[in-house]
């Protein structure tokens, strides 16, 4: 790592084989060091699409916490297409090499999806598309077009084999009119087959990833997901909940800090023994590279509010009022302190502890227990082989 930027994790320079990282997050320690010294953007996250999604995930971090009882719909005041395209141009001018297309709704059903992807491609930016996958990515022509435009795809995977649990996750706690009635798990499996047939998982670094929240309901599935990813050259982003959106006040299925890091260590041991990958299981992503969004990017919401990253609660400004460059200039201290960790996720556990205390004080219903949430003192820093599992 660069001597004058001592907090850069060495895991950034590990080989990208077996899906250790993905295209668009594959920055070397030297590249990160240069970006920090020059306060240059590398990897922002933008809600470039509208807020529409037919599913109803109760932990959606892009949804307003006030909308717990309804599906995601268009919001008043969403950024115009012209402003969203200009946002891409501004990010490119600030040095961005990738953009995490994280919503606000399901990106692939947005009417401007291809216009946005093509603008990123023309700007030399890798589009990283976070998708539920079942609605559009089962189409070979759709996925092929996305591949040809240089995109990386990140698919929602809470379980690969427990269809009852996975379908319940996307349908939400309470059933509502308009939610698709087909099995999400079955349709997503078809989409994964299509993405692999097109070849998203063939390059190194891979262009296919899983987005997996580790919680009580799927704790027994995590090793299976991890091994499937390694065997098929798929990057696995395994995280806990963010303190934003519908989980701003916590979530009843969250596991503890100790449990999460015990799982990280278990996956790191598998990587070392089975795949020859020796890494630090760096928080916040188990079995993969550190986070480069906070400090080396910004998070822009669909109505223009700008934050340090998707887990932050206090906006830095709004791109309706200021240029992205002017807002980015406010983050020099955050960039200088970059260490690849995740301050907001650390705060999540603190909020869970506060909720547990509040429940004890108010003797709330046992149906909403927080399942032994604990918050110890937090550290300052923090190939396609087979389709079978």
41-45, 227-231, 239-243 — which is least confidently predicted? 239-243
Kindly state the average pLDDT of the residues 212-223: 94
Question: How many CA atoms lie within 13 Å of 62's alpha carbon, on the beta-carbon side?
Answer: 31
Contact between 147 and 127 (Cβ < 8 Å):
no
More confident residue, 363 or 61: 61
126-131/98-101 β-pairing: parallel
Please report, to the nearest 10 degrees, the dihedral formed by the alpha carbons of residues 267, 269, 272, 273 taken in order. -110
pLDDT band at 389 (very low <50, low <70, confident <90, very high): very low
Res 150 pLDDT > 50: yes
Which region among 53-57, 160-164, 231-235, 325-329 has the lowest average model confidence (pLDDT)? 53-57
Rounded CA-CA distance 121/149 in Å is 6
Read off the pLDDT of each residue in 90-107 and give the average, rounded to a whole number.
Answer: 97
Alpha-carbon distance 350 to 371, whole Å?
Answer: 15
Indicate the pLDDT class of residue 349, thresholds 50, 70 and 90.
Answer: low
pLDDT of 366 over the 50 cut: no
| Separation between Cα atoms, residue 50 and residue 73, nearest integer Å | 8
Q: Please report, rounded to a whole number, the percentage of residues in the chain having pLDDT higher than 90.
A: 64
pLDDT at 368: 40
Q: What is the pLDDT of residue 191?
A: 98
Look at residue 324 in the predicted model and tell me its pLDDT: 98
Q: How confident is the model at residue 360 (pLDDT cuts 50, 70, 90)?
A: low
- 379 pLDDT band (50/70/90 cuts)? very low
Q: How confident is the model at residue 387 (pLDDT cuts 50, 70, 90)?
A: very low
* Mean pLDDT along residues 93-107: 96
Judged by average pLDDT, the poorest of 45-54, 120-129, 203-212, 277-286 is 277-286
pLDDT (average), residues 38-42: 97
pLDDT at 114 over 80: yes
Report, as an integer, the average pLDDT of 17-41. Answer: 96
Mean pLDDT of all residues in the chain? 86
Both tokens of residue 354? Answer: 């506060």
Confidence check: pLDDT of 380 > 50? no
Give yes or no for residue 382 having a pLDDT over 60. no
Residue 245: pLDDT above 70? no
Q: What is the pLDDT of residues 55-85, one digit of tens each?
A: 888 778 767 665 655 667 788 999 999 999 9
95 has a pLDDT exceeding 60: yes
Q: Is the pLDDT of residue 371 over 50?
A: no
Rounded CA-CA distance 366/230 in Å is 39
pLDDT tens-digit map of 306-322: 999 888 888 999 999 99
Radius of gyration of the chain (CA): 20
pTM score > 0.85 for this model?
yes
Are the C-beta atoms of residues 50 and 101 closer than 8 Å to each other? no
Strands 126-131, 152-156: pairing kind: parallel
Q: Model confidence at 220, in pLDDT bands (50, 70, 90)?
A: very high
């Amino acid at each position: 790592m660069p001597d004058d930027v001592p907090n850069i994790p060495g895991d950034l320079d590990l080989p990208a084989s077996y899906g250790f990282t993905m295209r668009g997050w594959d920055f070397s320690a030297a590249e990160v060091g240069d970006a920090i010294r020059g306060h240059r953007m590398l990897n922002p996250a933008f809600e470039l699409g509208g807020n529409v999604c037919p599913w109803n995930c109760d932990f959606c971090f892009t949804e307003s916490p006030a909308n717990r009882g309804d599906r995601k719909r268009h919001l008043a005041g969403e950024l115009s297409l012209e402003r969203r395209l200009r946002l891409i141009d501004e990010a490119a001018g600030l040095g961005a090499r990738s953009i995490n297309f994280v919503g606000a709704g399901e990106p692939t059903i947005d009417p401007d999806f291809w216009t946005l992807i093509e603008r990123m491609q023309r700007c030399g930016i890798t589009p990283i598309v976070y998708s539920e996958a079942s609605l559009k990515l089962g189409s070979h022509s759709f996925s092929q077009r996305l591949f040809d435009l240089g995109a990386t795809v990140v698919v929602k995977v809470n379980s690969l084999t427990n269809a009852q649990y996975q379908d319940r996750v996307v349908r939400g706690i309470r059933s509502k009119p308009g939610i698709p009635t087909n099995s999400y798990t079955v349709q997503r499996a078809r989409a994964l087959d299509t993405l692999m047939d097109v070849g998203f998982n063939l390059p190194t670094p891979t262009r296919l990833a899983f987005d997996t929240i580790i919680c009580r309901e799927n704790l027994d599935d995590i090793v299976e997901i991890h091994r499937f990813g390694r065997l098929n050259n798929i990057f696995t982003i395994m995280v806990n909940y963010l303190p934003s959106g519908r989980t701003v006040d916590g979530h009843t299925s969250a596991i503890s800090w100790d449990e999460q890091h015990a799982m990280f260590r278990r996956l790191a041991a598998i990587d070392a023994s089975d795949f020859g990958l020796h890494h630090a299981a760096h928080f916040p992503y188990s079995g993969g590279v550190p986070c480069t969004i906070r400090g080396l990017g910004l998070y822009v919401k669909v109505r223009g509010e700008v934050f340090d990253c998707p887990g932050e609660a206090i906006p830095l400004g709004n791109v309706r009022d200021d240029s992205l460059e002017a807002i980015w200039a406010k983050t020099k201290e955050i960039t200088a302190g970059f260490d690849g960790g995740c301050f907001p996720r650390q705060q999540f556990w603190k909020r869970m502890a506060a909720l547990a205390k509040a429940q004890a004080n108010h003797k709330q219903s046992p149906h909403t227990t927080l399942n032994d949430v604990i918050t110890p003192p937090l550290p300052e820093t923090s190939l396609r082989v087979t389709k079978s599992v």
